Amino acid sequence: MSAGTHDFEALLREALPPIEPPADLVQRLESTLINLTELAQEELDAWELSAMRDPRNWVRPAAAVVVRVRRRHRSRKQQSSNLFELAERTLQDFADEARRILPDRR
């Protein structure tokens, strides 16, 4: 390796030092996700079923369902003894959320 290459690498290391994320980043991110989840849940609860006839309106409620199911993943994982049971609980959670959105289809 030549001296010029070594100097260039040293200059890059000096110019681009690693940056530590703020200490409260995880808490802020979690808080933001919780707020977004609550907003999505409120919107989903207020959604009119008649608007669901148009497939263009399916994205937001579907995303809200996924966010809700994902939010409960940690507790389902702790309750499950194996991967098959976790998958079964997750599918049941999706089914429960679908019943919430479409109560007439039980």
Distance from C-alpha of 43 to C-alpha of 87, rounded to nearest angstrom: 27
Q: The pTM is what? A: 0.43
Name the DSSP class of 55.
G
Residue listed under structure tokens 């809700």: 68
- Residue 28 in this model has a pLDDT that exceeds 60: yes
3-state secondary structure of 30: helix
10-19, 25-34, 44-53, 95-104: range with lowest mean pLDDT: 44-53
Residue listed under structure tokens 């959320």: 97
Q: Could you read off the pLDDT of 71-93 as tens digits, one per residue? A: 888 788 888 888 888 888 888 88
- Residue 106 in this model has a pLDDT that exceeds 50: no
Give the start-to-end residue ranges of the domains of the chain.
22-105
Instruction: Report the pLDDT averaged over residues 28-56.
Output: 75
Q: Residue 51 contacts by C-beta under 8 Å, 6 or more apart in sequence? A: 57
Beta strands in the chain (DSSP E): none
Instruction: Check residue 13 and give its pLDDT.
Output: 83
